[in-house]
Amino acid sequence: MSLRPERGALGRGLSSLIPQRAVPESAVLDVQLARIKPNPYQPRRHVDDVGLQELAASIREHGVLQPVLVTETLDGYQLIAGERRVRASRIAGLERIPALVRQLADRDQLEVALVENVQRADLDPIEEALAYRQLIDEFGLTQEQVSDRVGKARATIANTLRLLELHADVQATIVDGKLSEGHGRALAGLAPEGQAHVLGTVVGQGLSVRQTEELVRRLREPKPKAAPAPQRLDPDLERVESHLRERLGTKVSLSRSRTGGRIVIEYYSDEELNRLYEHLIGGTA
Report the catalytic residues. Answer: 83
| Among candidate residues 282, 248, 285, the one with its CA nearest the CA of residue 264 | 248
Gap between the Cα atoms of 69 and 122, Å rounded: 16
Do 151 and 130 contact (CB within 8 A), yes or no? no
Do 201 and 246 contact (CB within 8 A), yes or no? yes
| Burial group, residue 157, by CB count within 10 angstroms (0-12, 13-18, 19+) | buried
Name 41's Cβ contacts closer than 8 Å, sequence gap at least 6: 106, 109, 110, 113, 134
| Among candidate residues 281, 257, 277, the one with its CA nearest the CA of residue 269 | 277
Listing DSSP states for 120-188 in one string gives HT-S-HHHHHHHHHHHHHTT---HHHHHHHHT--HHHHHHHHHGGGS-HHHHHHHHTTSS-HHHHHHHT
